[in-house]
Amino acid sequence: MLMSGLPQAMDHVPDEDCVASAHLRVVILSDAESERNGVGAYYHDLVDLLKDDVAEIALFCPGAQGMSPGLRLPLPGDATQNVWLPPLRAISSAVREIQPDVIIVPTPGPYGLLGARLAKKHKARLVVGFHTHFEKIMDLYWSRWFGALTVGYFNLLNLYLFKRSELILANSSDMVEIVRQRSQTPALLMGTPIPRRYLTKPRAEPTVGVNTVLYAGRLAAEKNVAAVIAAAHAMPEVQFQVAGDGPDRERVEQAAAKLRNLRCLGWLSRDAMLDVLDASDMLVLPSHIESFGTIALEAMAREKLVLVSSRCGICAWPQLRRGLFEYSPGECLSDGIRRVMAVDAGERDRVRRVAREGAEHITQWNLNNWLTILAGEAIE
C-alpha cells in the first residue's frame, strides 16, 4: 500500500499498536551540521522524536558523535556553510557496531554517499530525504553556466541516491511530485519534527499588541531578508529582530547600525532561540523559496502570531494553514504585518490556539508516520 503524498494524509494517523518498531536500529548520515540549518535541525529533532520508540538511533554528521570531521570545503555560493569529508574509518566502525536495519540519508554529499554505500554493505534499508530543490535557488547564487554545472552535479547525486533507496521522503506535496517526476522509487510525505521543549515548556500569556517581530533562519537571498529590513524602515514603532547567519548577515548588520528598531542577533542555539521566540509577539517568514518552514511550526507551538509568505511549503498543510497568516508575493511584508495587527484581538487569540493544536497534531502524526516508515509498513 502506498500512502498518500498529499498533506491531507495528516488526517490519517497510523495505528501505534500496529507499528513494529521497538527492535529497530536506525542510522542517519547527514552532510548538514547539527542544528546549523533547516536540514541539520530536522534530523537532530528526529533523533529526539524517535529515541524512545526504537532500539537505537544514531546521527552521524559533521561534528557529531565526538568525531573530528575531515577536510572542509566552502559550499559554492555560501561561505558560511561547508561541505565536509567524513571520517570514513570512525563512521564505518560505528555503523558496523550498530548493525542498522535502516539508514536514512538526507543530503547528496559525502556523508550521504557514504550512507548509501554502508546501507548496501550492511544490507540495511535505505531511506532518502529530499529537502532542497537546487534549480529554484540556482539563479540566486550562481552565474548561469556555473549554476547549471552545480545543479546538474547535485541532481546526478540525488538520482544516484534515489535509485538505490527503498523510499524517498519530502516535506511538501510539491517536493513529493518533483521526486515522482524523476524517479520510479516510491515517494511519500513526511512531517517536520520540533524539539519537545517547544511543546512542553510553559508559555507566557500573549501580549495585546504587536510590539516585537522576529525573523529567524538563514540570512540568504532565498529567505528574502531584505523584506524584513524594508519592514523595519516602514514601521519605526515596531521592534524587529533578526536571528541567524548566512551570506546576507553583513547586509543585516549594516541596516541594524542605521535603524534603532532593528537588531541583528546572529546565530542562536535552539535554547536561546526559544527564549527569543517567547519574548516576541510575531514570527515572520517572507521567503521566496521555502520547502516547509520549521521555525514557523516552532512559533505555532509557542502560540505566537505567524506571518509567512504564501510560497512557504507549510501553507500546503491544511491543518497548519489554519493557524497561520499569509501574505502574497505582491504585498509588502509591512502591509501584511499591519493587516494582522488590525485583526480583532479575539480572532488573533483563536488563531494562536489553532496554531498550537496544529503543532501538537502534526508532531504526533509525524512520530507515528516515521515509525510506520521505519518498520517497512508504509509500502508493501
Same domain, yes or no: 231 and 357: yes
The pLDDT of residue 5 is 43
Q: What is the DSSP letter of 164?
A: H
Cell numbers that stand for 70 in this block: 575531515
In this prediction, residue 377 carries a pLDDT of: 76
Residue 26: inside a domain = yes
Residue 201 domain-assigned (yes or no): yes
Distance CA 149, CA 159 (A): 15
pLDDT (tens place) for every residue of the chain, 380 residues total: 334 444 554 544 445 544 457 899 999 999 988 887 888 999 999 999 999 999 999 999 997 766 666 666 666 656 666 778 899 999 999 999 999 999 999 999 999 999 999 999 999 999 999 987 766 655 555 556 665 676 777 778 989 999 999 999 998 888 899 999 999 999 999 999 999 999 999 998 888 889 999 999 999 989 999 999 999 999 999 999 999 999 999 999 999 999 999 999 999 999 999 999 999 999 999 999 898 999 999 999 999 999 999 999 999 999 999 999 999 988 999 999 999 999 999 999 999 999 999 999 999 999 999 999 999 876 54
Enclosing domain of residue 118 = 7-193+362-374
Note whether 162 and 215 are same-domain residues: no
Does residue 38 lie within any of the structural domains? yes
The pLDDT value recorded for residue 22 is: 81
Same domain assignment for residues 127 and 104: yes
How many other C-beta atoms are found inside a 10 Å radius of the C-beta of residue 234? 14
Same-domain check for residues 108 and 247: no
Question: DSSP per residue over 329-377, as a string?
Answer: TTS-HHHHHHHHHTS-HHHHHHHHHHHHHHHHHHHHHHHHHHHHHHTT-
Q: 214 and 328 in one domain?
A: yes
Judgement on whether residues 370 and 316 belong to the same structural domain of the protein:
no
The tally of domains found in the chain comes to 2
Residue 380 covered by a domain: no
How high is the pLDDT of residue 137?
59
180 and 231 assigned to the same domain: no
Q: Which of 17, 6, 7 is nearest to 375 (CA)?
A: 17
Measured CA to CA, the distance from residue 237 to residue 239 in angstroms comes to 7
Q: Which residues pair with 262 in a beta bridge?
A: 240
In terms of domains, do 141 and 151 share one?
yes
Contact call for residues 132 and 126 (beta carbons, < 8 A): no
Residue 1 in any domain: the answer is no
Give the three cell numbers for residue 307.
506571518
> What's the grid cell of residue 363?
508532531
What pLDDT does 144 receive? 65
> What residue type is 173 in one-letter code?
S
Q: Answer yes or no: are the C-beta atoms of 14 and 368 closer than 8 Å.
A: yes
Residues in a beta bridge with 128: 105, 168
> Looking at residue 184, which CATH number applies to its domain?
3.40.50.2000
Phi, psi torsion values for 133, nearest 5 degrees: -95, 95
Residues 102 and 184 in one domain: yes
Same domain (yes/no): 185, 285: no
Residues 221 and 83 in one domain: no
What's the angle, vertex CA 71, arms to CA 69 and CA 74, rounded to 5? 105
Residue 2 lies in a domain: no
Query: Looking at the domain assignment, is residue 53 inside a domain?
Result: yes
Whether 379 maps to a domain, the answer reads no
Are 71 and 109 within one domain? yes
